[in-house]
């Protein structure tokens, strides 16, 4: 359930991936749980910019997020 992985932060030492959210439901026909209504957020939308800590970034209103 992951797309491409980019080694985009910390001089190529920190991986960035898309963040995917969806709804799990039981599929009677398949007899298993499936994921539907998946929304994909690019890594630049859900990760703080280089040099900014996660908590600081969230408390600051996610400045620099590219959604």
C-alpha angle 50-41-9 in degrees, rounded to nearest 5: 20
Ordered DSSP codes for 5-53:
EEEEETTTTEEEE-EEEEEEEEETTTTEEEEEEEEEE-HHHHSPPTT--
pLDDT for the residue 1? 63
pLDDT over 70 percentage in the chain: 97
pLDDT for the residue 59? 97
Return mean pLDDT, the chain.
89
Q: For the segment 3-32, what is each residue's pLDDT rounded down to a tens digit?
A: 788 887 777 778 888 899 999 999 999 999
Q: For the segment 32-64, what is each residue's pLDDT rounded down to a tens digit?
A: 999 999 999 998 899 888 888 999 999 999 998
pLDDT for the residue 2? 67
């Amino acid at each position: 359930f992951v797309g491409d992985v980019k080694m985009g932060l910390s001089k190529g030492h920190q991986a960035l991936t898309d963040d995917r959210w969806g709804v799990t439901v039981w599929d009677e026909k398949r007899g298993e749980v499936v994921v539907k209504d998946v929304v994909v957020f690019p890594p630049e939308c859900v990760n703080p910019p280089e040099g900014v800590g996660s908590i600081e970034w969230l408390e600051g209103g996610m400045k620099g997020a590219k959604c």
